[in-house]
Amino acid sequence: MKKRMLAAFLSVSMLISMSVFIPAYAADTESQTESAETTPAATTEPTVTPEATTEPTSSPETTAPAVVGCSECGQTEGHAESCSQYIAPEPTGCAECGQLEGHAESCSQYVAPDPVGCTECGKVDGHEESCSQYVVPAEEACAECGQTGGHLETCSQYAAPAPDVSGMTAEEIFAHWEEYSVEEQQQILDYLAANDETKCAELLALIDDANTLEEETVSLTISAAIADGSDPDQDMIFTISRDDGFSVKVAILAEDFVNGSASITVLLPAGAYTVTADNWSWRYTTEKVENADGSVSFTYTRSKAKWFDADFSKSICYVPAAGLNDDEE
């Protein structure tokens, strides 16, 4: 008896199920065939989503006839943008950087925008001081000494003020150039570059000339000593000559000797020179020694006592600023 009742219950259940699901399946299959005919793209790329296949049964839309579109815009799926029922889709961002509009600078798809300068001064970053839109930047205080304008002398960033060269010519500045520190020299050049370009150029030319001269000159020291240690009564003259015919004379004056010896350092154009002692000091015989450091030493021995003689020398120096200097001996 129980078995018959159970069989009857199962039969009824199966009947009910078939009467409900078979029509629904048939309707769904029919709507899919119809949409395939109206949208060719759907034939190549079916738009059936897993959601539609897995949950098609409970939705009223799926159960309603698919051929029925919007009463306003006629769209069977969704709505035209002009339709009052149109709902804009949510914006989709970049898959890499997530930006909804454009891309982050770190994104590989980022394209830097062309810089757009100021319409008045043309500067892309900020503005020229002459531009009406220029804003003077606020002066920041030194983190060490707290000063906004410059630094305290105790501050490590303190720089001594540049020497006042405003009233000096380029030649006058250059005359003391080696007395300035490197920082002071730079300050002077900066000052002149900003205030007097002509003077700055003149000074730079003088510095260049001096550097060139220094590079192209050699130093030669000539020493003279009297054998017996006494001071001489005659001046000493030396001839410095080069193979190409260059020849000059230099002198060590008798009054320059101290305890029987004296020397002179001569700056010459770069080259190889020969130094000889002239017979100007004819009372003496000379002995020459060329030292390892390139200097030359002469030893004078008094050998002639005959005849009355005398020496006299006088130097004339032309210095434009101070005029002529006479130095009699």
Partner 1 sequence: MEKNKNQKQPRKRALGIIVALVLLLCVSVGGTLAYLVATDGPITNIFSPATTAIRVDETCTDNVESSIVVTNTGNTAVYIRVALTSGTKNADGSLSVDSYENLNNLTLGSGWVQQTDGYYYYTSPVSASGATNNLLGSSVTLAEGQTITVLAQCVQSEPSNAAVDAWGVDPSGLKGGN
Sole binder of partner 1 in the list 29, 59, 211, 313 (CB under 8 A): 313
* Nearest to partner 1 of 118, 254 (CB atom): 254
Assess 250 for contact with partner 1 (CB under 8 A): yes
Stretch that binds partner 1, among 76-84, 187-195, 225-233, 299-307 (CB under 8 A): 299-307
User: Least distance in Å: CB of 186 to partner 1?
Assistant: 22
* Region 124-183 residues binding partner 1, contact defined as CB under 8 A: none
* Nearest to partner 1 of 10, 267 (CB atom): 267
- Taking residue 20's Cβ as centre, other Cβ atoms within 10 Å add up to 11
Stretch that binds partner 1, among 32-40, 63-71, 104-112, 306-314 (CB under 8 A): 306-314
Instruction: Name the residue with tokens 């008094």.
Output: 302
CA distance 260 to 226: 5
CA distance 207 to 171: 10
Stretch that binds partner 1, among 7-15, 30-38, 161-169, 245-253 (CB under 8 A): 245-253
Q: Which residues of 258-297 are buried (b: 16+ CB within 10 A; e: fewer)?
A: eebbbbbebebeeeebebebeeebebbebeeeeeeeebbb
- Taking residue 329's Cβ as centre, other Cβ atoms within 10 Å add up to 12
CA distance 153 to 164: 19
- Phi, psi (rounded to 5 degrees) for 74: 80, 0
CA distance 147 to 140: 8
CA distance 267 to 96: 73
CA distance 60 to 65: 10
Assess 219 for contact with partner 1 (CB under 8 A): yes
Sole binder of partner 1 in the list 31, 217, 285, 297 (CB under 8 A): 217
Q: Residue 125: in which H helix or E strand, if any?
A: none
Stretch that binds partner 1, among 7-15, 93-101, 146-154, 300-308 (CB under 8 A): 300-308
Assess 235 for contact with partner 1 (CB under 8 A): yes
Amino acid letter, 59? S
Binding mask 88-107 for partner 1 (x = CB under 8 A): --------------------
By the 8 A CB rule, do 254 and 231 touch?
yes
Sole binder of partner 1 in the list 31, 63, 234, 297 (CB under 8 A): 234
* Nearest to partner 1 of 34, 256 (CB atom): 256
Assess 316 for contact with partner 1 (CB under 8 A): yes
Assess 3 for contact with partner 1 (CB under 8 A): no
Binding-site ranges for partner 1 (CB under 8 A): 213, 217, 219, 234-235, 237, 239-240, 246-251, 253, 264-269, 278-280, 282, 304, 306-320, 323-324, 328
